């Protein structure tokens, strides 16, 4: 049984002598923050004192319990026996050191004057943890009354300013403060048997908790099927439908195989706009209707959060649907074949084993592709060779196929030849590849490539960033549609500034000959009121005022694309040359020069292929700008 867990008495002693924090840190690994140490030191003893006062010294407590298919951990799960039913009972506890939290609106909480970003209401946080457990532990789903949720703010008092009770509490989300310890004790005693003779049953309840096999529960799949039915409007064409049917056949054959199904790995290759995500959404909807245990995974926070927003865009969505959309790094400890299908979208973002780690660490590391293959009976990888943009991303067909074969899997490969982004223009796709040296053929001017054709895609050049922005505004107004400016990562990216006694605002980090604009909001950062969060920059109408980067543009599309080339990739004597010293992307500029240059070319290919109707180009390097002017003519 993995994880840190023991009786209340034993854990209380470890907390007192300091060994508990060491044990927790060893379990979690290098990602432990200083704040977590402080929390363990201050909050866990407060919880143990309450449990001892409740007569629950014999109860088992699972600490930092990892939620399945999630990066989040629960502070504590108290395991015991229900005094009335005799069944296993689990109390999920979220601990907070906050002293004077205040509501800020929309059920968000500010817990310190200098806190720049509000937090979720603690009762709502623990409520979601309980629901997540029920959604992914079918053993608990059948008896949901076994799970309760409580938040304990052990430093807070309900004073005259207290306003957190403007909240709809329920069995999954209760809240207690320091002056409510007696209420907390009484409620714990109603849920957990205080008889020391039940210690063995409490130990068994904890063992069961760690042995539960995670997979999407039927009620979650039913909810997903209903929601995805309204979004299942993609019409798959030609190769897209072929890919979809081949995947469905693989799923059917695997389900029918007895006694142990042979694993089938499906690799779908396609360029920008070839329909990979349309296949993913159509497949997810179909599998949800069939109650198949299927999840969607990506390596992009922006892409994942946008998918969640789209599914819930009518305002009546169920936040539980968010759990259908996961991240690649959430499958490290997933049991073999826990899922029927795992759809790995934008699989070129899959991470590999870092090159610079020690041999010992390398031996312990598990390749992310192998983890994803292990998690499902039919793993599906949707990828594009030319969208690998960071060192360590290894989601290429060769890597996936090699690892699948080493694991003894059957591999089904599908190529998507169509191109639906960029106006469905194969000529533009060819022009971009030739422009960036990603093709064996030399660069060609747009006019020469499209002469005597019915090509409608617009390619333009702007001599200044002012002109580029004006071109975008003019086309978005005249022909309607959305427009965005994206750039290479060649300028600093600072934190938002704050006016004296006023709102925060984005800093104009990008300054090109007096044209000054901010980057989009940093990921995870609370945006000022007039701009969208980073993950919604490409889709929120307020995104036009900021400049996006590859991490917020990849996976999305808009009608009119403005692309600013930085000095990380320049033309010298007719050839592209990468300049690592000009890049502000620390994850990329430390790569060997040849690797750096390939990654930067892939980056600009992503930026150049976001526009559905047209693109306008500019470089702040004069020689490169002359080259772009010629090629766009």
Name the strand (E) or helix (H) holding 154.
none
CA distance 485 to 479: 17
pLDDT of 363 reads 46
Q: 365: pLDDT confidence band, cut at 50, 70 and 90? A: very low
Q: Which residues have CB under 8 Å from 544's CB, separation 6+?
A: 472, 482, 483, 484, 485
CA distance 484 to 470: 12
In angstroms, the Cα distances linking 122 to 94, 103, 320 are 7, 11, 17
Q: Identify the DSSP state of 632.
A: T
Least confident of 216-230, 439-453, 495-509, 519-533: 216-230
What residues form DSSP beta bridges with 461? Answer: 617
Q: Identify the DSSP state of 56.
A: -
Question: b/e for 20-58, b at 16 or more Cβ within 10 A?
Answer: bbeebbeeeeeebeeebeebbeebbbbbbebbeebbbbb
Average pLDDT of the residues in 272-297? 82
- Domains belonging to the chain, first-starting first, are 4-211 (no CATH), 218-416 (3.40.50.300), 423-631 (3.40.50)
Chain segment 296-314, per-residue pLDDT in tens: 998 877 777 777 776 665 4
Average pLDDT of the residues in 492-520? 85
pLDDT at residue 563 tops 50: yes
Average pLDDT of the residues in 407-428? 75
Share of the chain residues as helix, strand and coil, in percent rounded to the nearest 5: 40, 20, 35
Least confident of 10-19, 55-64, 258-267, 285-294: 258-267
Q: Which residues have CB under 8 Å from 206's CB, separation 6+?
A: 1, 5, 60, 62, 79
| Ramachandran angles phi, psi of 520, nearest 5° | -65, 170
pLDDT of 150 reads 97
pLDDT at residue 113 tops 90: no
Q: Give a three-class secondary structure readout of 354-413.
A: CCCCCHHHHHHCCCHHHHHHHHEEEEEEEECHHHCCCCCECCCHHHHHHHHHHCCCEEEE
| Ramachandran angles phi, psi of 348, nearest 5° | -65, -15
| Ramachandran angles phi, psi of 160, nearest 5° | -65, -25
Helix (H, G, I), strand (E, B) or coil at 65: strand
Pick the more confident residue, 428 or 55. Answer: 55
pLDDT of 105 reads 65
Do 268 and 381 form a contact (C-beta atoms < 8 A)?
A: yes
Q: Which residues have CB under 8 Å from 249's CB, separation 6+?
A: none
Chain segment 57-110, per-residue pLDDT in tens: 999 999 999 888 766 789 999 999 999 999 999 999 999 999 888 887 666 787
Q: Report the share of the chain in percent with pLDDT over 90.
A: 42
Do 93 and 34 form a contact (C-beta atoms < 8 A)?
A: no
Average pLDDT of the residues in 154-166? 87
Least confident of 84-98, 391-405, 559-573: 391-405
Least confident of 191-195, 430-434, 584-588: 584-588
Q: 220: pLDDT confidence band, cut at 50, 70 and 90? A: low
CA distance 516 to 509: 7
pLDDT at residue 256 tops 80: no
pLDDT of 228 reads 63
What residues form DSSP beta bridges with 111? Answer: none
Pick the more confident residue, 341 or 165. Answer: 341
Do 88 and 78 form a contact (C-beta atoms < 8 A)?
A: no
pLDDT of 1 reads 44
Do 327 and 298 form a contact (C-beta atoms < 8 A)?
A: yes
Mean of per-residue pLDDT scores for the chain: 84
Do 228 and 343 form a contact (C-beta atoms < 8 A)?
A: no
325 C-beta neighbours (distance < 10 Å), count: 21
Average pLDDT of the residues in 465-470? 95
Average pLDDT of the residues in 212-221? 72
Angle between helices 368-375 and 397-406 (to 10 degrees): 60
**pTM beyond 0.75:** no
pLDDT at residue 561 tops 60: yes
The length of the chain in residues reads 633
Per DSSP, the chain holds a count of helices (H) and strands (E) of 21, 26
pLDDT of 135 reads 82
Q: How far apart, in Å, do the first and last CA atoms of the chain sit?
A: 66
pLDDT at residue 252 tops 60: yes
């Amino acid at each position: 049984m993995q994880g840190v867990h023991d009786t209340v008495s034993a854990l209380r002693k470890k907390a007192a002598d300091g060994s508990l924090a060491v044990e927790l840190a060893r379990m979690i690994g290098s990602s432990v923050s200083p704040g977590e140490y402080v929390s363990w030191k201050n909050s866990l003893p407060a919880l143990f004192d309450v449990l001892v006062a409740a007569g629950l010294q014999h109860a088992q407590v699972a600490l930092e319990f990892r939620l399945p298919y999630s990066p989040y951990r629960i502070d504590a799960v108290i395991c015991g026996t229900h005094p009335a039913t005799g069944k296993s009972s689990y109390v999920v506890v979220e601990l907070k050191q906050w002293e004077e939290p205040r509501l800020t609106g929309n059920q968000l909480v500010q817990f310190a004057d200098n806190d720049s970003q509000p937090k979720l209401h603690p009762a709502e946080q623990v409520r979601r943890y309980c629901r997540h457990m029920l959604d992914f532990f079918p053993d608990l789903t059948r008896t949901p009354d076994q799970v309760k949720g409580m938040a304990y703010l052990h430093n807070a008092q309900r004073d005259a300013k207290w306003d957190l009770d403007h909240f709809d509490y329920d069995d999954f989300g209760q809240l207690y403060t320091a002056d409510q310890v007696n209420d907390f004790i009484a409620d714990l005693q109603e849920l957990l048997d205080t008889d020391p003779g039940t210690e063995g049953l409490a130990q068994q309840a904890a063992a069961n908790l760690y042995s539960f096999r995670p997979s999407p529960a039927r009620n979650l799949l039913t909810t997903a099927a209903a929601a995805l039915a309204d979004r299942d409007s993609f019409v798959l064409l030609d190769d897209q439908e072929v890919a979809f049917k081949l995947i469905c056949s693989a799923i059917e054959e695997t389900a029918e195989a007895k006694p142990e199904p042979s694993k089938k790995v499906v690799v779908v290759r396609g360029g920008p706009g070839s329909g990979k995500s349309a296949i993913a959404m159509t497949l997810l909807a179909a599998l949800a209707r069939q109650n198949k245990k299927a999840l969607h995974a990506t390596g992009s926070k922006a892409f994942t959060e946008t998918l969640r927003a789209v599914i819930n865009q009518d305002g009546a969505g169920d936040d539980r649907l968010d759990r259908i959309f996961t991240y690649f790094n959430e499958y490290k400890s997933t049991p073999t074949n826990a899922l029927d299908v795992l759809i790995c979208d934008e699989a070129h973002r899959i991470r590999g084993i870092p090159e610079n780690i020690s041999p010992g660490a390398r031996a312990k590391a598990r390749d992310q592709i192998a983890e994803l293959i292990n998690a499902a009976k039919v793993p599906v990888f949707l990828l594009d060779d030319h969208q690998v943009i960071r060192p360590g991303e290894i989601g290429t067909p060769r890597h996936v196929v090699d690892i699948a074969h080493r694991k003894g899997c059957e591999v089904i490969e599908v190529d998507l030849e169509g191109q639906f982004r960029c106006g469905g223009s194969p000529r533009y796709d060819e022009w971009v590849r030739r422009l960036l040296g990603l093709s064996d053929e030399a660069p060609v001017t747009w006019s020469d490539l499209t002469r005597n054709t019915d090509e409608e895609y617009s390619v333009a050049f702007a001599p200044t960033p002012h002109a580029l922005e004006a071109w975008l505004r003019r086309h978005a107004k005249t022909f309607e549609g959305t427009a965005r400016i994206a750039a290479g990562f060649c300028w600093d990216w600072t934190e938002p500034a704050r006016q004296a006694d006023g709102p925060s605002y984005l800093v104009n980090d990008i300054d090109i000959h007096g044209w000054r604009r901010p980057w989009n909001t940093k990921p995870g950062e609370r945006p000022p009121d007039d701009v969208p969060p980073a993950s919604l920059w490409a889709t929120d109408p307020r995104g036009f005022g900021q400049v996006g980067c590859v991490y917020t543009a990849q996976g999305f599309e808009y009608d009119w694309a403005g692309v600013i080339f930085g000095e990380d990739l320049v033309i010298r004597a007719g050839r592209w040359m990468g300049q690592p010293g000009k890049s502000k992307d620390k994850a990329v500029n430390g790569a060997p020069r040849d690797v750096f240059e390939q990654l930067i070319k892939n980056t600009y290919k992503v930026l150049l292929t976001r526009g559905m109707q047209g693109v306008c180009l500019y470089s702040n390097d004069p020689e490169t700008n002359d080259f772009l002017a010629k090629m766009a003519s």
